Structures are given as structure tokens and as C-alpha cells.
Structure 1
Amino acid sequence: MSTTRHPAEHEPIARVLPMLSVPHLDREFDYLVASEQSDEAQPGVRVRVRFHGRLVDGFLLERRSDTDHVGKLGWLDKVVSGEPVLTHDIRRLTDAVAARYAGTRADVLRLAVPPRHATVEKRPAPPLEPLDPQPVDTAAWAAYQGGAQFVAALQEGRAARAVWQALPGESWPQRLAEIAAATVATGRGVLAVVPDQRDIDQLQAAATALIPDTRVVALSAGLGPAERYRRWLRALRGQARLVIGTRSAAFAPVSDLGLVLIWDDGDDSLVEPRAPYPHSREVAMLRAHQLRCAAVIGGYARTAEAHALVRGGWAHDLTASRRAVRAHAPRVVALEDSAYAQERDPAAHTARLPSMALDAARAALRADTPVLVQVPRRGYVPALACGRCRSIARCRHCTGPLSLPGRDAPGAVCRWCGREELALRCARCGSDAVRAVVVGARRTAEELGRAFPGAAVITSGGDSVVATVPHRPAVVVATPGVEPVAEGGYGAALLLDAWALLGRQDLRAAEDTLRRWMAAAALVRSHDDGGVVAVVAESAIPTVQALVRWDPVGHAEAELDARTEVGLPPAVHMAAVDGTTDAVDALLQAADLPDGAEVLGPVDLPVGARRPAGVAADHPVGRMLVRVPRELGLGLAAALRRASAAASARHDHEPVRVQIDPLHIG
């Protein structure tokens, strides 16, 4: 028996955005709202609609009294939930991110709004006691030039924006928690985006000492669907005043947002690996611009993108004086890492460290403090080379690089085909001597264990990350980003295999290397307290000099100048178009690129870049680059967005991936 539907008496038209990723369907469609649906069918709710004969999910954007559709309208099939999960602010942000990155709104919404969990959503929110703000001690911010004025601006509710250069040894979670609490005390919300779970834990611990834990929410990928949705709803419903999370938290629906915090914006994990590949820093700054709220980008080092915000006047510099930096920084020395130096220094043969570095480590251990050793990669020996001529050792079957899988392995193993090579001999000079190209954390730990007999050796990296180490003698071997925090600080830090980081074919190699070094060096005691950092690298390298002088701002300034000179982001906007030659050519020919656009390429995909989804495995894939001045960035994105929509409607070429300002250009 069929039931006759009647349109709602008031605003019977629902404008819906279906969750369809194909670019040519990234638009709204009108549907009729039945009278029995009218109360729940409000802007922002999840709905289901029939589209081309199948049911699809969507979001109801607005209710209307009229439609510009010619023909008969279909009915709204179902209101999935009456919870308005797409707020007005997040909808505006979604539109801006899709326009900035030449993506579809459906793809952005998948990042912004988590999947529904019905049981959690139906559960009533527990009542909360009124927030009773307590005075917050922000005196530590006076160590930074303009710091006191910045905090005062936050307390007055002004949209102050700054790039904060944290002092070495600074407790960044404590400082960020202080300004977050100061903002919450004004009645406004705070959003903090950090690279990983360890950073979330540190900031949450500092924040809950100043803000009631019922008002603090932590969002991360490691949470299960139910728990993540429960916490996300607390933010949506205004119960949480501080939201801390990893990259997707940049879209968290914090009500009455007053301050956005980004820590360590140079970390790769802040870049979304799914289309349209937004960077959390850019999303957060778009929010701050749209809502006219305060913003802070903080770190021990500084990216060229953050420095461009200061140079352009959008943000202020928040740095300490050189005198304060010298008082807080450890002594940094650069030690030669050449074959000649190794021949002169027997210690370099056993632990790959010059005698001076070994002496500094031994002095720290005698002072009952731990020593940090940073190595670029995990594992045992990622790659081997000839001990005489330094040629890379390669597999005789497939020419892949050889590595040692473990200490007791009978021979080397190819990292491509997996074949074992029992008798190693250099194809170039005939020598049977081998050396490590980059020695991993486990092998380094073994070598240092022999160099420092009796000292405990702790490794942190991969699946075994150590959060903290006690104040006692120990050698801590860690990969970048997972260095444990030492109680009272490390007595010394040794930074190994510098050339493996600096020698990468990457636009951001120098910037990223300095960021990793400074993050490790910041854990070391000050020079006055005996702290020493030894970097095994040539002292003439500008990045090494920036570490020795502890000058991240000067390094970022030089990096931005260099990129401006050669026309690389952030001095310009650049689009990377990946796909087969025919598909990329067709897309660029169809795109109405803005005047002044420069097409470059083709080039190979950067190392580690995935092939575009949907392209046959036997079809060669390349990359074309399109460069425009900064003021034409939105025009470039719009042109590529329209061309992608036209191409997806025609279905006459394989898929093409478009990325705006990708982290790795090639």
C-alpha cells in the first residue's frame, strides 16, 4: 500500500550536496521535503537521496521556498539524523579548502566530518558545571620580544597572529597551554593541531592542569570510531573549549573559536595523504582568516611558509633576544666526517664518531646524565657500499640496493627482490670490504654499546617508541621525531649521518634537516649547564651554521629568498599534475590557465609518491608542473578544478591527480 507524500508547508525545497567524489558532480541538487521530515530536515544534517537510481549520502545545505530546477523534483529519501553536524563555519571552511586545493567539497567533507555512530549520537550529553576560569601565570612569555603584549591581546579577545620561535629547552606544551587557558578564560574556544599522538599527550597533560579536563578533548586517528565520534560531538555541542588533535582536527567544530595553534608545521604528518591533500597549517590559517581569530604557529625551527606569513605582514615575529637564546642553547660543534678524518681518528672506525664527540658523550655519562644519539633511519643497515671506492652495493639479479637484515645474518639481502648475496665483491674495484651508507638505530646501538661499556643503551623508533628516560647515565639512540624527553635534559646529543638528510633530492631537505636537528638539540641542557651537541658534518654548510648559531629565523629567511629567486613555493603557487602523458596533456589543454602561468616538465614522480588511483599498472606515469605568481593561486586552482570536472564527465582519459603546492615537488 503506497503512502501519499505531501511537501512541507514551509520551505519545501532542500538543497543537498551529495557525497560524490567525481568532480563534475560537485554541485548542489534540489529535493522535495515531506511534511513529516520537515522538523529534522534542517541545514547541516546528514540525509540520503536517490541519485541516478541509487541511494547516496549527502548533507542538507539549506531549505528554500523555490528552485531553479526545470522539471520534476525527487523526494528527500531519509533524514539520517537530526544532529546538525555541518556547521556554517565548517561549511565555509570546506568551500575555501576545496577552492584552495582544486578539490571537491565531498572529499573535504570526508576529512572534516567523521562517520556517524548512531549509539553515541543518541546518548544524551552529560551535564557540565559552569566553567570557572582561574588566573593563568603567563610570565614566561615575557622572555620573548612582544610576548607580554601578545598575551594581553589574547586576553582582550583581539585577533593577534604570530609565528613563535620557541627557545631551546622550552616547555612548548606548557607555553601553549598557558595561552590556551588565557583564551578559554575569555569565553572563547581554542583549537590546537600537533603532528602526532606523543605531542597530543604532552599538550593535553599541560592543558588539563590549567583547564578542567571535562572541557578538553583530544582527537587522533588511533581512537576507535565510537570514541572519536563521542569526542567530536563534545566539540560540536560546545562542551569542549579546547580541542587538541592531529591533522584532521584542523576541521574540528570548535564553537566561538578564538585561537588556533599549530605546533611544528614542518612535520610531514600534517599533510593529508588523501585528496585534495591539504596542509593543516593552511587549513588552520584559513579558519583564522575567515573567523578573524588569533593564531600561533610555533616550533623550534621555522619553515619558509611560516616566515612568508611574517614577511607579508599577516603574522608577527615572536622571538627571544640573542642574549636569551645564548643563555638557553647548548654548545653546538660541527665535526668533520670525511675519509681523511676517519683515517686520523681511530674512534671513528668503531662508533662512527670523532674523538671529540665521544669525549663529550663520556663527560655527560660521568655527570650521570643521558646522551642522545640521533640517526636518520630505523633498522639495522639500510644500505651498503664498497669500503674502498664507496660505490653502492647492488644485487647481481635486479641491481637493487643490498642491506644487512640483522647482526647474525649470513649475508646481505636485496631490498627489491629479496635475494640473498653471500659473497660481496665490488663490481667497480673488486674489493670485498663493505661499509654502511646509513647505519640504522639498532646497529648504531650495538656500536655505541661497545664504545661505552657498562652504559645502558635505549633505542626509540619504529614500533618501540620511548616517551621519557630517567635522569641517569644511558645512551639513547633514536630516529628523528621520536626522541624521548630526558628528565632534567640530556647532557649531550650526537647527530649522525648528516649527509643522508642533507643530500636528499628534495626541495625541503635543508629546512627539514634543521628542524630535525633542532628538535633533538632542544632536549639538551644549556651551555652553562654543560650541554653539548655534536653534529657530524662540514661546518661550512649553511644548515650546519644555522644550527651552530641557533638561528632558525635566518635560515628560513635565506630559504625563502632562495625559493623566491628560482620561483618555488611559497614564493609562488605550483600545481603538480600526475598521470599518463595523454591524460595530463588533455587536462592542461582543456584548462583555461591564468595569464602568466608557466608549464614545466614532464618530470618523474618524486621518490615515494604513489601512482594516481585508477591508472593501469603498465602505463607510465609522469608529472607536469604549473607555476603562477601567488596572487593567481586561486585562479590556477579554479582552472584545474573546472578542467578536472570536464574530463571526469567525458571519461575519455585515465584519471589525473592534481595537487596544489605539494610537499614534495620532484
Structure 2
Amino acid sequence: MNGDVGQAVSPDEAVQHEAVQHDELPDGALLGLDEVGAAPARGRGRGTNPLDKAETNGIPISETLPVARVVLDLQPAHLDQPYDYLVPATMAQEAQPGVRIKARFGRQDVAGYVVARQETSDHDGRLVPLRKVVSGEQVLTPQVLELCRAVADRYAGTLADVLRLALPPRHARVEKEPAPEQPAAEVATTPPLSSAWVPYRGGEAYLRRIQAGEAPRAVWSALSGVGTDLGTGVGTDASTDASTDTGTPHWAAAVAQAVRACTAGGRGVLMVVPDARDVARVTAALAGAGLGEDDVVRLLADDGPAPRYRAFLRALRGTARVVVGTRAAMFAPVADLGLVVLWGDGEETLAEPHAPYPHAREVLALRAEREGAAFLLGSPGRTVQAQALLASGWARELAATRDVVRGRAPRVRALTSVELARDGAAAAARLPSAAWKAARDALEHGPVLVQVPRSGYLPVVACSRCRVAARCGHCHGPLGLPHADGVPQCTWCGRLAGGWHCEECGWTGLRSVRVGSARTAEELGRAFTGVPVRLSSASAPGGVLDTVPATPALVVATPGAEPVAETGYATALLLDAAVMTGGTGLAAGTEALHRWLAAASLVRPGPQGQVLLVGDGAPGPTQALVRWDPAGFAARELDERAELHLPPAVRVAAVTGERTAVDAVVARVGLREDPGTGSGVLGPVEVDPDATGRGPAGRGTGAPSGGRGSGRSAVQALDLPVRTVLRVPLAQGDELARRLKASLAVRSARREGGTVRVQLDPKEML
């Protein structure tokens, strides 16, 4: 399939589709192989009468537009194409483009969507009638359909896979609810430009262009600050600034003003944020900017089937002009889309874990470009991918001057081993004396935030004598302690290891290797007697906290779970810096800096607040935090990756699975080595199935990792999955995706054995 709706085959012939219809991809250059894997062109342009080839069994067929072109929810890659069906006369009114249908495919009824109605079919074979119109609601809009096609093509996926991500499951009871009245059209007014955008170079001009109906694209480095600590001294009226509300982050208030400018121009807005807490903050800021419940709809997958579908229908029917949600909202059907906003693109929750694994940043960029909408990508830090958008000229930077940044940012100090050398042996303490004194002094003025990289109590333990990591005897996973009096427990399979002994030396004692947030909270409670200690993490008894009062307290949180203090934190302690930057991924440094800046942005600005980074983190992100310069760090990272032909300066694809299956998929791509451009094949290399959730498909339970004492035989080692990385210049990225998609279609049609997962722009290489 070439990605259009102009060519279709019948479902009967698709079922009989043989693998010999797909030629092998030739070796050599990547480019110039356009027709490989495309659906056979039968009768293109003939416009034959569909009633001449109908098998209706006496069912009357619609006299007008009797052919429905549909896309079906089919898993095999070689069946990823549109199909033509006849429209029974009884369904003529309901079977409109965008509705859900059931159609006969082979021996079963398959769900799908009508994408077009037409007079004729260019297919020579017989056509059969649709079986059922599930709902008359036109849930698949033309804009969303084209976006889904573009995403499927970009990530070498199928349209069916993307549609599963884009459209929520139907909820019949919600569809029958009376639709709310359409809000009256608002008279366009010029919203006041408050202090939230005044500090940024070009910020006010950006808002004016949005309100005028233009489509500017910007990467925004947001200033830090919370609540009443946002004053900039520019002399604006605080009553018009939503950021003066206690507990409202500056970024949420600034976004609310951008949204207000777009809606004042008569257009809709789509905003995607990392989690439900951010959704609540944005909606509160929008309410402060004058947008009420009738204007804004929340779209979250965690809300449940009925609320999610109700919110989806409000957006679809145009009863809400602004959609705010998590990753699931990036395909929301917003009418007359004028502004697309993404906050915090460095968060893991914005990367889709299901095939074809799109990232919200790429999806929203495609959408803004296709629908002519403005684009705003904001973050406390700066990912290398966002920097690449600036370097290519696709977007422009929105940032404050250095003097404004220094005035608004808290004072940052890195407590490295060199800095603490004068403390002698005490410098090795997890909470050195300088950090302890800073926290004690800050508690006199408000709450103190303590960021800990890991959740739990002691997530990793080792033998107290020989220091070898403690492993589970069943699956060889790492052992941890869930609480102080707990029995060692495997963090993979959950089995208890009450009779554990070291396989190296036979010792039964354990020592901590990694300290979690729960243990940190316990230690701080003993060190600061009489001070309340609040724990915020997914594994904590109280879960993730949203806000904390301005009263003195120690707030221990894992990255991404930091609650907002009403007037900002007096001090933040960022512990275990070496753990945060110790990852092996390309993005380890930028991710650590993003986490640190996200926490530091919640601290009071200027001399009122202080941030202490504790530990020997990598020099690059550590110095970037001290200087509060994520843009400079991202620019240097991008330059280094361009020199080394690493993403995002190039396009990469990871093919993971059983060796023979991976080799077959890669061989059909026919990628030619070109050291000058970085194009070529890297690998295959063995991949630990434990690190990928038991193989490439992520199925099953963990298997031994192959480490010491795992008991893996040589035969088992040969069964390890492998990964091959394909790398091409950016200009050939779309072609690489097409070749991989065609190769997967050949694999599907031939029913080749083994398991394979293809992922464009894999996270471990970003």
C-alpha cells in the first residue's frame, strides 16, 4: 500500500494473498524501490459498476454511492490496505465516512471504519455488503485519519495499530446521552498580555501571531517559579495574571495565556502534558484565564471508558474548543485547530509503549504541520530532539535573557566530592553536613524538597561480605528489601528469599546498594526530629502528592512525583547525582538535567531559594544545572551526535528478535554502507531478554540474565534475542520506514517464524 485510499482490494482476495506476490527487495541502494510491497494494482482507473460484481444474496444495495471504502482492524502487516464493500440500502444513511462498521473478512466479522463513499470501485473482483453499522457517530475525522496514516508511515507501523491508539473504545450508553448545547460564539477580544510572557524575547509577538490566525512554531525554555513569587517588575496589572494564584506553576499560567489568545482568535487548542496532575494544573490555570468548564475538556486514559469517551465526544462535536490531556489526547479531534502545545517532552510517559511506538512530540509536530496550527513545545529543560527542531529552522526559540534567568532561578550549588574534600571522611556521606545545615536553616522559612532517584526502601542489596549483588534463586532477578523488617524479595518475580545466602562466599548478611525514597524518608525523620516528613511516589502509601502547604516539612519525592508547594520550596536537595547520570543511554545526561530542573523550578527564585546537588554526577549536566543552561547543554549534545552520526542527527531503526527472523527482515531492506553519511547496519548483538521484558515482544516472565550463577547453558545462550540497528541520513528516514514496512509485509504474507519487533527512533538511542 502506498498510503492513499485510492486503491483497494476485496477481502476475499486479500485472504488468498500469497507471499510470492511480494518480490524480494534487491541489495544495493536504499532509494528507488517504491513499488515493493504495494498492493497489486487491479483495474486502476476503470471505474467499473460495483453492482456488476456484487454478491448480495438478495440484499438491496444503495442506489447512491453504493461502494464504501473501509479500513479494518487487521493485525497482519500485508493486509494493511483499504477494502471496498457494498452499502446495503438499509445502511445508506448511516454508513458515512468516519463511522464504525462490521464487515466480513474471510470467515469472521472484523471491526473497521468507513473512510469514503463512492459510485464505483476500481477492483475487478467481487464485492460483498457491509455486515453492520455499529454506530452512526462519525468518530474518525478526515484530519485524524490523515494524521494516523502519516504516523503509521513514519514509524513503519500499520494504520490499524495507530487507530487503536487514536480512537477510544465505544461506550454505547455515553453516545445515547443528550449532547450539551453548542456554546455561543465568543466575540474576539484582545487578551491582556501579562507578565508571564513579557520576560521572553518574542513572547508577546508570538501570542499576537497566534491570535491573528498565524501558525508560528516555538521551542520554549520556561522560567522557574510558583505562585506569588513570579513578580518580574515589569509593571503589569497582577489582577490579569493567572500566575499570581497560589500554587500555580509559571509554565501553566503562561500556557493558559497562549491558549486564551488562540481561542480569542476563534480557533481550537490541543495541549498534551505528562500526567494527570499536570492536567489539573493546566485546567486550573485556564479557569484563571477566563476559560470555564464549557470551553475546556479533559481527556485522560486513566479516567475510565465512560468519562474518556464522553470527553472525546465533546471534542468531536465541537462543544469544547480546548482539549487538555495526557498522551492519549494527541489524536483528539479538535475542530479548527489553531494551537498545539506539548509540555515536558523529556518525560517517559509521552512515549507510546504500544506499536508503532510514536512519541507525542513527533505526532504533534506532524499534526501542527498538516493542519496549519501553531506549535509550542515547552519544558523546564531541553531535549536534544527539541534542539534539533531549532537547528533545522523548523521552529524558533522562545527564551528569556540571561539576566532574567539568573534573577528568576534559585541559587544552585553542586556538592561534589571535590567541593566537600575538606570534610574528610564525612564527604562520603549520602547527606553531607552542608546539605544537612542548608535543610535545617530552610525549614525555618518553609518546606524542603528532597529528590531521590529510586522508589521503595532498599531496591538493591548485596552480600555484606563480598559485595556481590544479591540475586533471586528462581529468576536471578535483583533482591531488595520492601521495608526495615521485611524479608528480601525479588523485584522481578516477587518471590521471597528468606533463606538467601551468597553463592560466592556463602554469607547470609545483606547491605544496601541503592537507597530508595522510603528509606530516605525514614532516615530524615530521625535526623530532623519534630519535622513532618511527607513521601510522594507511586509506591508510597499515600501515592503521588499533588500539592503541599507552605508550612515547614521535608518532602521526599521520586523524579516526576514532586508536589507543588503553595509558595515554592525554600530549598531542594537533589540526592544521588551519580545514580541519575549513570545510565548508558545517549540521553542519560539530558534526562538527568531535565529531572533536576523540574524539581529546581519548584523552588523560590533568587536568594529566597537554594538548590543543592549532592553527589558526583557527570560534569556536563552538573555544570548545566549550576549555570541553569539546558539550551547550551542540548546544543553541545546535538553537535557531538551530528559528528558521530547519532540520532537525532540521523534516523535509526532497531530490529529486535530471534536471529534468523531479524536477519531476514534486515536483508530485505537492502541498506548500503556509507561511512561518509553514517548509513549502514550495526549488529546484530545479543540482547538480554530480562532488559526487554522477555524478548522482543515483551511477553512472558523474566529469564536468567546470564550473569554469575544463573545456570544458563550454552544452548540457552544461543537462543538470546538479538538487535540490529539500521542507520540512515535524515533525508532517507522516510524511505527507511517504507522499506521496513514492506519487509514486514513480506514476512507477514509468508508467515515466517520467530518474533520480531521493529522500532523507529528507539528510546535507548535517543
- Pairwise same-fold verdict (TM > 0.5): yes
| 2:384 alignment partner in structure 1 | 304
Answer yes or no: is 1:609 the counterpart of 2:685.
no
**Alpha-carbon distance between aligned partners in 2 of 1:364 and 1:545, rounded to the nearest angstrom:** 24
Q: How does 1:574-585 map to 2 (within 5 A)?
A: 574-585=652-663
| 1:107 alignment partner in structure 2 | 161
| 2:287 alignment partner in structure 1 | 208
| 1:275 alignment partner in structure 2 | 355
**Alpha-carbon distance between aligned partners in 1 of 2:71 and 2:488, rounded to the nearest angstrom:** 56
| 1:125 alignment partner in structure 2 | 179
CA contact (8 A) 1:395 1:402 kept: yes
Q: How does 1:383-398 map to 2 (within 5 A)?
A: 383-385=460-462, 392-394=469-471
**Alpha-carbon distance between aligned partners in 2 of 1:127 and 1:54, rounded to the nearest angstrom:** 40
* Letter matched to residue 517 of structure 2: A
Give the counterpart of 1:180 among 259, 269, 275: 259
Give the counterpart of 1:251 among 314, 326, 331: 331
CA contact (8 A) 2:574 2:613 kept: yes
C-alpha displacement of 1:433: 8.1
Greater displacement, 382-391 / 509-518:
382-391
| 2:730 alignment partner in structure 1 | 630
Answer yes or no: is 1:567 the counterpart of 2:645.
yes
Answer yes or no: is 1:487 the counterpart of 2:595.
no
**Alpha-carbon distance between aligned partners in 2 of 1:574 and 1:244, rounded to the nearest angstrom:** 31
Cα separation, partners in 2 of 1:67 and 1:145, compared to 1, 3 Å: same
Greater displacement, 80-89 / 512-521:
80-89
Cα separation, partners in 2 of 1:656 and 1:8, compared to 1, 3 Å: same
Q: Secondary structure at the match of 2:132?
A: strand
| 1:446 alignment partner in structure 2 | 522
| 1:379 alignment partner in structure 2 | 456
Q: Secondary structure at the match of 2:652?
A: strand
| 2:93 alignment partner in structure 1 | 39
* Letter matched to residue 460 of structure 1: S
Give the counterpart of 1:48 among 102, 107, 113: 102
C-alpha displacement of 1:137: 2.9
CA contact (8 A) 2:219 2:376 kept: yes
Greater displacement, 161-170 / 477-486:
161-170
CA contact (8 A) 1:576 1:665 kept: no
| 1:546 alignment partner in structure 2 | 624
Cα separation, partners in 2 of 1:106 and 1:399, compared to 1, 3 Å: closer
Give the counterpart of 1:229 among 309, 319, 338: 309
* Letter matched to residue 147 of structure 1: G
Q: Secondary structure at the match of 2:728?
A: strand
| Alignment gaps of 5+ in structure 1 | none
C-alpha displacement of 1:341: 5.3
Q: Secondary structure at the match of 2:308?
A: helix
**Alpha-carbon distance between aligned partners in 1 of 2:504 and 2:606, rounded to the nearest angstrom:** 48
| 1:649 alignment partner in structure 2 | 749
| 2:64 alignment partner in structure 1 | 10
Give the counterpart of 2:366 among 263, 286, 298: 286
**Alpha-carbon distance between aligned partners in 1 of 2:754 and 2:502, rounded to the nearest angstrom:** 45
C-alpha displacement of 1:100: 0.2
Deviations 1:402-426, CA, capped at 9 Å, x for gaps:
43231123x6445467453678779
**Alpha-carbon distance between aligned partners in 1 of 2:420 and 2:281, rounded to the nearest angstrom:** 44
CA contact (8 A) 1:220 1:245 kept: yes
| 1:407 alignment partner in structure 2 | 484
C-alpha displacement of 1:211: 0.9
C-alpha displacement of 1:54: 1.1
C-alpha displacement of 1:484: 0.9
Q: How does 1:305-344 map to 2 (within 5 A)?
A: 305-337=385-417, 344=424
C-alpha displacement of 1:378: 0.7
CA contact (8 A) 2:183 2:294 kept: no
* Letter matched to residue 655 of structure 2: V
Q: Secondary structure at the match of 1:600?
A: strand
CA contact (8 A) 1:342 1:354 kept: no
* Letter matched to residue 722 of structure 2: G
Give the counterpart of 2:538 among 462, 467, 486: 462
**Alpha-carbon distance between aligned partners in 2 of 1:93 and 1:398, rounded to the nearest angstrom:** 43
TM-score (norm 1): 0.94
Cα separation, partners in 2 of 1:614 and 1:167, compared to 1, 3 Å: closer
Deviations 1:88-147, CA, capped at 9 Å, x for gaps:
101110110000000000110111111111222233312144143565333220101111
**Alpha-carbon distance between aligned partners in 2 of 1:13 and 1:594, rounded to the nearest angstrom:** 44
Deviations 1:386-408, CA, capped at 9 Å, x for gaps:
67886545568876534323112
CA contact (8 A) 1:405 1:412 kept: yes
**Alpha-carbon distance between aligned partners in 2 of 1:137 and 1:245, rounded to the nearest angstrom:** 26
C-alpha displacement of 1:71: 2.4
C-alpha displacement of 1:497: 1.1
* Letter matched to residue 448 of structure 1: L
Q: Secondary structure at the match of 1:516?
A: helix
Cα separation, partners in 2 of 1:425 and 1:110, compared to 1, 3 Å: closer
CA contact (8 A) 2:447 2:555 kept: yes
**Alpha-carbon distance between aligned partners in 2 of 1:642 and 1:415, rounded to the nearest angstrom:** 40
| 2:193 alignment partner in structure 1 | 138
Greater displacement, 477-486 / 221-230:
221-230
Greater displacement, 122-131 / 263-272:
122-131
Paired positions, count: 659
Answer yes or no: is 1:358 the counterpart of 2:432.
no
* Letter matched to residue 536 of structure 1: V
Cα separation, partners in 2 of 1:479 and 1:162, compared to 1, 3 Å: same
Deviations 1:528-574, CA, capped at 9 Å, x for gaps:
22x11111133771110000000000111111112212222111110
| 1:519 alignment partner in structure 2 | 598
**Alpha-carbon distance between aligned partners in 2 of 1:549 and 1:30, rounded to the nearest angstrom:** 61
| Alignment gaps of 5+ in structure 2 | 1-55, 226-248, 702-715
Greater displacement, 603-612 / 3-12:
603-612
Q: Secondary structure at the match of 2:665?
A: helix
Cα separation, partners in 2 of 1:68 and 1:387, compared to 1, 3 Å: same
| 1:502 alignment partner in structure 2 | 581
Cα separation, partners in 2 of 1:80 and 1:462, compared to 1, 3 Å: same
**Alpha-carbon distance between aligned partners in 2 of 1:433 and 1:59, rounded to the nearest angstrom:** 61
CA contact (8 A) 1:370 1:475 kept: yes
CA contact (8 A) 2:581 2:617 kept: no
**Alpha-carbon distance between aligned partners in 2 of 1:391 and 1:402, rounded to the nearest angstrom:** 12
* Letter matched to residue 513 of structure 2: V
**Alpha-carbon distance between aligned partners in 2 of 1:423 and 1:278, rounded to the nearest angstrom:** 42
Cα separation, partners in 2 of 1:129 and 1:88, compared to 1, 3 Å: closer
| 2:35 alignment partner in structure 1 | none
CA contact (8 A) 1:426 1:432 kept: no
Cα separation, partners in 2 of 1:268 and 1:397, compared to 1, 3 Å: closer
Cα separation, partners in 2 of 1:235 and 1:424, compared to 1, 3 Å: same
**Alpha-carbon distance between aligned partners in 1 of 2:473 and 2:131, rounded to the nearest angstrom:** 63
CA contact (8 A) 2:573 2:613 kept: yes
Q: Secondary structure at the match of 2:303?
A: coil
**Alpha-carbon distance between aligned partners in 1 of 2:477 and 2:418, rounded to the nearest angstrom:** 26
Deviations 1:291-340, CA, capped at 9 Å, x for gaps:
12100000110100011001111111000111001101111111124899
| 2:28 alignment partner in structure 1 | none
CA contact (8 A) 2:153 2:734 kept: yes
CA contact (8 A) 1:378 1:461 kept: yes
Give the counterpart of 1:159 among 212, 215, 218: 215
**Alpha-carbon distance between aligned partners in 2 of 1:124 and 1:278, rounded to the nearest angstrom:** 35
Q: Secondary structure at the match of 2:103?
A: strand
* Letter matched to residue 45 of structure 1: V
Answer yes or no: is 1:168 the counterpart of 2:251.
no
